[in-house]
């Protein structure tokens, strides 16, 4: 029969007044320990306490009474004998004195499944109280230790969860940053290409205009045509002046610097095509080109350009 514990020398009793006993922790039954003979715990039917479990040896351990004291020793058992959850030496010559309240345990290699408590019955009234206080202290320390382990395990799980969240967040932020950098590089490359094409186009147009002006009979008529075309191509749609300090948006529309900055305070879309403003870059070549054309035309056109430059250089009024 499994899990059966019985005494082969005497019946189990629950009331002991002298000597010592083993109390089965699982059911509270007590087996008195005879002081005259060796007390054997094992699987053999001749044992004082019979434990019919596979992990028990036939003669597992013994308890002897010598000089008013009780001693326990392991009889070279296979699974070992545990005293207060520490395994005893398998040497038969190694004996350990038992104290009131000691826990004797048996089990397989993984855990202790059967425990007995060693109880002395002939100690003074004061000593049991001291032993009980000791047991209570040990119990409290064990509970504190278990609670500390539980709290540490919970904290470890929380730290692991936070680590996973932070790692995933870092991956997402890194991917977003890489995507933004890729977009910025693409927009910048496109913007540089547009500016280079614009500079080339303006240079070619400037040469053509000079050649055409030298070949016509009426320079004033040609200058009017040039200014009219200049207004059509490079007039700021916000202030209706020729662009000054030209700023090119990502949609390739051009405005005065002061005009587009003021516009962006109210709206983030291009005033012409309503596309969202993603990038703004200055184009010094375009600004110089317009100024050179105005200087070339001369007269009122040149004066108006210079007046606009002076006005834009004045400090902007601040609202109180």
In tens, the pLDDT along 62-93 reads 999 998 899 999 998 888 899 998 889 887 67
**Kind of pairing between the strands at 96-97 and 69-74:** antiparallel
Cα separation, 290 vs 225, whole angstroms: 15
pLDDT single digits (tens) 293-307: 888 888 888 888 888
Mean model confidence pLDDT for the chain: 81
Is the whole-model pTM more than 0.85?
Answer: no
- Tell me the C-alpha distance between 247 and 258, whole Å: 9
pLDDT, residue 269, reads 92
The whole-angstrom separation of Cα 186 and Cα 66 is 94
Q: What percent of the chain has pLDDT over 90?
A: 22
Average pLDDT over residues 251-271: 91
pLDDT-derived band at 61, boundaries 50, 70, 90: very high
List pLDDT tens digits, range 20-59: 999 998 888 889 998 888 899 999 999 999 998 888 999 9
Rg (CA), the chain: 50
Question: What is Dmax (Cα atoms) for the chain?
Answer: 146
Q: Which element (helix H / strand E) includes 110?
A: none
Indicate the pLDDT class of residue 60, thresholds 50, 70 and 90.
very high
In three-state secondary structure terms, 246 is: strand
Rounded distance, CA 260 to CA 239, Å? 10
Of 309, 272, 313, the C-alpha closest to 290 is 309
């Amino acid at each position: 029969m499994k899990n059966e514990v019985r005494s082969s020398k005497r019946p189990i009793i629950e009331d002991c007044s002298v000597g010592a006993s083993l109390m089965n922790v699982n059911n509270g039954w007590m087996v008195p320990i005879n002081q005259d003979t060796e007390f054997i715990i094992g699987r053999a039917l001749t044992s004082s306490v019979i434990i019919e479990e596979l992990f028990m040896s036939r003669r597992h351990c013994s308890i002897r009474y010598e000089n008013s004291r009780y001693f326990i020793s392991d009889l070279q058992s296979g699974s070992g004998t545990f005293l207060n959850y520490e395994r005893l030496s398998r040497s038969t010559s190694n004996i350990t004195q038992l104290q009131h309240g000691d826990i004797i345990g048996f089990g397989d290699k993984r855990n202790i499944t059967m425990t007995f408590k060693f109880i002395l019955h002939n100690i003074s009234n004061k000593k049991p109280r001291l032993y009980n206080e000791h047991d209570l202290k040990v119990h409290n320390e064990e509970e504190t230790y278990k609670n500390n382990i539980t709290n540490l395990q919970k904290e470890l799980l929380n730290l692991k969860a936070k680590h996973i969240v932070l790692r995933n967040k870092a991956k997402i932020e890194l991917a977003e940053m890489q995507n933004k950098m890729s977009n910025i590089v693409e927009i910048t490359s496109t913007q540089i290409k547009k500016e280079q094409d614009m500079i080339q186009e303006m240079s070619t147009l400037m040469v053509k205009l000079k050649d055409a002006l030298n070949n016509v009979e009426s320079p004033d008529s040609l200058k009017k045509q040039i200014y009219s075309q200049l207004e059509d191509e490079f007039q700021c749609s916000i202030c209706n002046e020729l662009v000054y300090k030209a700023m090119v948006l990502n949609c390739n529309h051009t405005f005065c610097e002061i005009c587009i900055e003021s516009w962006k305070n109210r709206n983030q879309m291009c005033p012409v095509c309503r596309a969202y403003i993603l990038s703004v870059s200055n184009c010094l070549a375009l600004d110089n080109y317009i100024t050179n054309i105005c200087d070339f035309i001369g007269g009122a056109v040149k004066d108006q350009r210079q007046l606009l430059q002076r006005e834009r250089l004045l400090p902007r009024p601040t609202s109180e």
